[in-house]
Amino acid sequence: MKQFNCLVLEDSLSDQLSIEMILNQFPEIETLYISSSKEFLNEVSKRSYMLIIVDIKLQESVTGIDLIKFLKDASTWVIICSAYESQVYYNQYKSLHFTKFYLQKPVDEYIFKTHIESFLFSKRNLYALDS
């Protein structure tokens, strides 16, 4: 089975656990969980991730959207999570040049799974074409 790597940046332990419970239902996704922007920048400098799930509002001065701008691989899929509804964040989110989804907190399991299944369907088809 093809493995797909995923990086999750979530600084709230309860939200991270909610995400983890859902991602654990997808054995083909290998996930690394981190909780700071420093860890995020370190990880994305070492390797490319196929899927990144990031909180918008972090306990630090930087936002998840600011961090996404450091990604180099345009084929990366991004799921942005937020408990905040903000036009400013929305406009920044729209300008990102990645396949992206927005997920409102608390995480709705059905919507989140739908995003993950879309990611897997797309990547599986891409790898099937390459074979």
E strand map for 35-73: 51-55
Say what the pTM is: 0.91
pLDDT at 130 exceeding the cut of 70: no
- Quote the domain boundaries for residue 45: 4-130
pLDDT of residue 47: 94
pLDDT at 131 exceeding the cut of 60: no
Cβ partners under 8 Å of residue 26, min gap 6: 116, 120
Please report which confidence band the pLDDT of residue 51 belongs to, taking 50, 70 and 90 as the band edges: very high
Tokens of 128: 């099937």
pLDDT of residue 1: 65
Residue 33: CATH number of its domain: 3.40.50.2300
Tokens of 84: 């905040």
Q: How many structural domains comprise the chain?
A: 1
Residues above pLDDT 70, as percent of the chain: 95
34 contacts 43 by C-beta, under 8 angstroms = yes
pLDDT of residue 125: 82
The label of the residue with tokens 């799921």 reads 79
In angstroms, how far is the first alpha carbon of the chain from the final one? 14
